[in-house]
Amino acid sequence: MKFSLEWLKYFLDTDASVADIAAALNRIGHEVEGIEDPAEKLEGFRVAKVLTAAKHPDADKLQVLTVDTGEGDPLQVVCGAPNARAGMKGVLGLPGAVVPANGMELRKSAIRGVESNGMMCSVRELELGEEHDGIIELPEDAPVGQTFAEYHDASPIFDVAITPNRPDCMGVQGIARDLAAAGLGTYKPIDIPVLEGEGACPVEIRTDDPEGCPAFYGRIIRGVDNTKPSPEWMQRRLIAAGQRPISALVDATNYLMLAFGRPAHVYDLAKLSGAVVARRAKNGETVEALNEKTYTLDDKMTVIADDNGVHDIAGIMGGEHSGATEGTTDVLLEIAYFDPERIGVTGRKLGLASDARTRFERGVDPEFLDDGLALLTDLIVKTCGGTPTEVVRAGEPPAKPRKVEFDPSLTRRLGGVDVDEEEQSRILDRLGFLNRKVLDSNLREVAVPPRRHDIEGPADLVEEVVRIHGIDEVESTPLPRRPGVALPTATPLQQAERKLRRAAAARGLNEAITWSFLPTAEAEHFADGAQLWVLDNPISEDMKAMRPSLIPGLLSAAKRNADRGSDGARLFEIGRRYFRGANGASDEKPTLGVVLSGEKTARGWSNGKGAKFDAYDAKAEAVALLEAAGAPVGNLMVMGEAGEQFHPGQSATLRLGPKNVLARFGALHPNTLKAFDIDGSVVAVEIFLDAIPAKKGGGGFARATYAPPALQDVTRDFAFLVPAELPAGDLVKAVRGADKKAIVDARVFDVFAGQGVPEGHKSVAVEVVLRPGEKTFTDEEIKAISDKIVANAAKQGAELRG
């Protein structure tokens, strides 16, 4: 829910800052999801007076204005608005200002040969409404030269998430009441206008569905004028809440809902026939709602109807054909209480969501019918004129206050915080709970206001006290460990393996569990000269040697899948490699292996024969899994010597320094595939978990965290001419190292050799992502970073392409 600070102060007398209000809202359970300052959008716009207006020499529909900005000499502005004239005051956007509606930056320019120093703005261009036929006309007393943000009272806007159990706070009034209870100001009750009305309401209003609609109140207002817009103050508050002003009548109902959490509806009386009734729908009845969609109803749904049919899906959305228009002169106001459960069921069946449904299905204040109708009537009469009739009250709302016996000592026992008994009483009073001490007892009898549907017993009152007193005052107490419950025993390596399993599965890999024993020939093929453990008395010759690598087992699994018709395999395994160490000791190496075979993407009309896995796919898996394991992937070096099992031109190792090999990856050598009787290409990855350095501080394994950047990234592309033999990774590493603080990513997106590129060279295009810190980059800062990038690339023999 959105609301402006100015709107909040209508209900709350406070001098608290925006930051203090946001902190208090979070503290009492209303999470602030964002704060917007509209004044930032209006920067560069100011109140100005048109001194002269003359016809443009080369355009019939343009005028040349002389505009007083309150500073220095008047400015010349070309304007096409039909209402622009000498003597009027409006809003001038100066060169450098950005128009909120379209993001256009205003500049000094020539329009049909005449210099223009900015733009006189319309309501729509400043996102203050929908009017765009002319420029904004300000009152005569508007101070020339004042910033428009200050003149317009562009108040900060809060975006607050209201939990489903607090429908009483789905209006600005409820938010103000909670903040006042938290000590952030004084709550200002609203004076309810007394409007007796002239004469009885000529339309019969009744409820034939007392379960779905226990209470239905209404009255008629004759002689309204809906052609004029709603007041500027109302439009300003509605726009702050994210509502588009529509018409004076509709805006009044929206204002009542957003200010007081009370939905209501206005019908064009001329479009109604006979009695207006809240009843059950008939199976198969239809209604065209205000969203211009037609809905089929059933007899479990409550509707508002007249003799001709349904006009309103009760509590959710009104009908299209009975809504108020500019030609409406007589209206019927409807304000009712609908059963929350019925509203929820109906909304889910129809798949129809609305602001009204959100409030009704959570439970509105059943006591607010008369007050809400009086406020709505007053808003309409003051805005549109007209004469109201007397009120018709059909049914009775369930507004009986509930009483709860409350023992203040519960706050300590359930909430874990000591709050003085009198302070608890004051908190409940400020929240609107009437409480009194029961004689000869420590208990208090608390009367719960009907608007608080969430209060059912003493524990809920404890929550209210603790919430307002301060949840941060509750001491953190660890839960006791019962005797016999084992302490955590997982080692850092075991925790790492669990995390890697989840990361690999999340990347679409299937976990395999293969034997730790291999045929001797296969083991020797992957031994790389190491001494193998060979069993003297194996179960079979195929399980004689302990595996020096996880890849052979995964290759056998991939082959079995292929022999049974599988198009491909994406397998991984976490296990141990076994070697004979010094003096015959066993040496076990924790390892993660990956094998990708067959089709990466199936053939189709857009990609022909499909695509096979290649060394780049293997590298992507290796880097992603190393990052999940907490390895510093930004510092990795790509080097050769992946092993004779891999294709020499399509494989590499990932290292931290020249000797510490963390992983090897690439396409397997044809001889390896032949040894395993596998057709087609296969790529593999092997990550050596024991080689990954432990996190400093003893944690061993990095815990993933995410903090979104405060400012938007900036992307710049560079194209370099580099020697053909230079690995692209070396160029990317040089680019990254140009400014480690500002550069957060760099990647190659194009490599080209051919016409236009000197022989022995290639063109490598690199995308660089820059992330600002506390403020956005200036052009000079971006140029300085770009110069560093070009200079670092030059050290690798790269030259920026012209």
Q: What is the DSSP letter of 160?
A: E
Q: What is the pLDDT of residues 170-229, one digit of tens each?
A: 999 999 999 999 999 999 999 999 888 899 999 999 999 999 999 999 999 999 999 988
In terms of C-beta density within 10 A (0-12 exposed, 13-18 middle, 19 or more buried), how is residue 493 classed? middle
Indicate whether 698 pLDDT > 70: no
Give the per-residue pLDDT at 699: 47
Q: What is the pLDDT of residues 649-693, one digit of tens each?
A: 899 999 998 889 999 999 999 999 999 999 888 999 999 999 998
Give the per-residue pLDDT at 391: 95
Output 560 or 582, whichever has higher pLDDT. Answer: 560
Q: Quick one: pLDDT band at residue 696, thresholds 50, 70, 90?
A: low
Indicate whether 703 pLDDT > 60: no
Q: What is the pLDDT of residues 610-627, one digit of tens each?
A: 788 999 999 999 999 999
Distances, alpha carbon 43 to alpha carbons 101, 137, 527, in Å: 14, 19, 70
Contact 746, 769 (CB under 8 A): yes
Of 252-261, 383-392, 579-588, the range with the lowest mean pLDDT is: 579-588
Tell me the domains of the chain and their CATH numbers: 2-37+156-187 (3.30.56.10), 40-151 (2.40.50.140), 205-395 (3.50.40.10), 402-471 (3.30.56.10), 492-691 (3.30.930.10), 714-800 (3.30.70.380)
Contacts of 675 (CB under 8 A, 6+ apart): 521, 522, 525
Distances, alpha carbon 343 to alpha carbons 316, 337, 350, 363, in Å: 7, 11, 11, 10
Indicate whether 485 pLDDT > 90: no
Q: What span, in angstroms and rounded, lies between the C-alpha atoms of 274 and 307?
A: 5
SS (H, E, C) 582-622: HHHCEEEEEEEEEEEEEEEECCECCCECCEECCHHHHHHHH
Q: Which residues pair with 217 in a beta bridge?
A: 335, 393
Q: What is the DSSP letter of 533?
A: P
Indicate whether 697 pLDDT > 60: no
Annotated binding-site ranges for Mg(2+): 454, 460, 463-464
Contact 146, 139 (CB under 8 A): no
Q: What span, in angstroms and rounded, lies between the C-alpha atoms of 651 and 128?
A: 60
Q: What is the pLDDT of residues 17-44, one digit of tens each?
A: 999 999 999 999 999 999 988 888 888 9
Q: What span, in angstroms and rounded, lies between the C-alpha atoms of 18 and 237?
A: 17
Q: Quick one: pLDDT band at residue 700, thresholds 50, 70, 90?
A: very low
Give the per-residue pLDDT at 704: 52
Annotated binding-site ranges: 454, 460, 463-464
Burial 217-245 (b: 16+ CB within 10 A, else e): bbbbbbebebeebbbeebbbbbbbbebeb
Indicate whether 701 pLDDT > 50: no
Give the per-residue pLDDT at 439: 56
Q: What span, in angstroms and rounded, lies between the C-alpha atoms of 288 and 318?
A: 9
Q: What span, in angstroms and rounded, lies between the C-alpha atoms of 45 and 90?
A: 10
Burial 725-738 (b: 16+ CB within 10 A, else e): ebebebbbbbbbeb
Pairing of strands 568-580, 660-668: unpaired
Contact 522, 676 (CB under 8 A): yes
Give the per-residue pLDDT at 480: 77
Pairing of strands 205-207, 276-280: parallel
Give the per-residue pLDDT at 434: 86
Mean of pLDDT values over 450-478: 90
Give the per-residue pLDDT at 149: 86
Give the per-residue pLDDT at 395: 94
Q: Please count the other Cβ atoms lying within 10 Å of the Cβ belonging to residue 107.
A: 12
Contact 380, 386 (CB under 8 A): yes
Indicate whether 381 pLDDT > 90: yes
What's the whole-number average pLDDT of the chain? 90
User: Apex CA 553: angle with CA 550 and CA 555, to 5°?
Assistant: 105
pTM exceeds cut of 0.75: no
